Structure 1
Amino acid sequence: MGISPRLAGTATAVVGLSGALLFSAPSPASAAPAALYAPSALVLTVSHPGDSADSAARAVTLSCAPQATGTHPAAAEACAELRGADGKPEALLVSESTRACTKIWSPVTVTIDGVWQGVRTSWKHTFANSCEMNGAVSHSSVFSF
């Protein structure tokens, strides 16, 4: 038993458990493109590892497509910086800060988790203390929250 050429292009044939041919039209969702923009939705946190709660001191959301939104206070600027850095947060860090900081070990961890232009991303950086973190990220609005 064959499928007529007219149905072959517009229907999907599936053999059911009973061996009978079942026809179903393609769903409208599968016929249309998924989206015009690759998703870019991130959660950014600053935490102090080792604290009694060991939880994020601050956290914001940032979505960059199709427009900058979220709880980040400078969403448009942060999205523009991330686009300029090709989604790589480490490119936004200053390697040699001119800020004078004490050598007290009080770690601060910054994380970025989510999806950047359709690709799962997870980034984490720990600074010796908040002074060193502020020196390394002071020029970037991505970390200003």
Structure 2
Amino acid sequence: MSGTSGTAQAQPKEAAAGLYAPSSLVLAVGQGEEADTATMQRAVTLTCAPKASGSHPAPSAACAELRSVDGEFARLVSASPDAFCTKEWRPVVVTVDGVWQGRRVAWSTTFGNSCEMQASLTGSAAFAF
């Protein structure tokens, strides 16, 4: 049996400063009240570091928007006063799972129906998929 031995060397601080904290997410929309039990209808991947990419239709815009709210996904949800939605209860859940700037994230929010979801996420690049 052969083996090698050696001493591990720490990376210089200059090399570490150039690294990006990982930011890789899965954003999904599903029919149901809770993320754990919803029937997923569509999902996209979004990677923001080291560069914007993924199956999201506008990864650069979505990453810029998420950086502008420091990854606080709830800040992208706002009720539109001009929206006219029925009171039909057909819940839709939006989820975000993955890693944002090096930390694990799992976020979800539920809307009464798809009209309420669209009205609340209007203008959000991250949830435009």
1:97 aligned residue (56, 76, 81)? 81
- Unpaired runs of 5+ residues, structure 2, are none
Higher relative contact order (CA 8 A, sep 6+): 2
Which consecutive unaligned segments of at least 5 residues does structure 1 have? 1-22
- The answer as to 2:85 corresponding to 1:108 is no
Count how many residue pairs are aligned between Structure 1 and Structure 2. 119
1:47 aligns with one of 30, 39, 42: 30
Q: 2:19 aligns with which of 36, 43, 68?
A: 36
- Cα distance, 1:94 vs structure 2: 1.1
Paired residue type of 2:67: R
The aligned residue for residue 140 of structure 1 is: 124
Larger radius of gyration: 1
Q: Distance in 2 between matches of 1:96 and 1:139?
A: 10
- Say what the alpha-carbon RMSD is for the aligned residues: 2.0
Which amino acid letter does the alignment assign opposite residue 56 of structure 1? M
**Of residues 63, 70, 75 in structure 2, which corresponds to 1:79?**
63
Asked if the contact 2:26/2:43 (under 8 Å) is kept, the reply is yes
Cα distance in 2 for partners of 1:116, 1:98 equals 32
Residues 112-132 of structure 1, C-alpha deviation per residue, up to 9 Å, x if partnerless? 000000000000000000000
TM-score by length of 1: 0.75
Q: Which runs of 4+ in 1 moved over 2 A?
A: 30-35
Give the Å deviation of 1:96. Answer: 4.2
* In structure 2, distance between residues paired with 1:139 and 1:103: 23
Instruction: Work out whether 1:88 is the aligned partner of 2:72.
Output: yes
Provide the TM-score with structure 2 as the length reference. Answer: 0.84
Instruction: Give secondary structure in 2 for the equivalent of 1:99.
Output: coil
Cα distance in 1 between the residues matched to 2:80 and 2:122: 12
Q: For 1:100 and 1:120, how far apart are their aligned partners in 2?
A: 36
The aligned residue for residue 20 of structure 1 is: none
Q: Secondary structure, in 3 states, of the residue corresponding to 2:71?
A: coil
Report the alpha carbon displacement of residue 63 of structure 1 after superposing the two structures with TM. 0.3
Aligned-pair identity (%): 50
Distance 1:97-1:89 versus aligned 2 partners, 3 A rule: farther
Question: Of the candidates 24, 29, 37, which is equivalent to residue 5 of structure 2?
Answer: 24
Q: Find the counterpart in structure 2 of residue 18 from structure 1.
A: none
Contact 1:97 1:136 in 2 (8 A): no
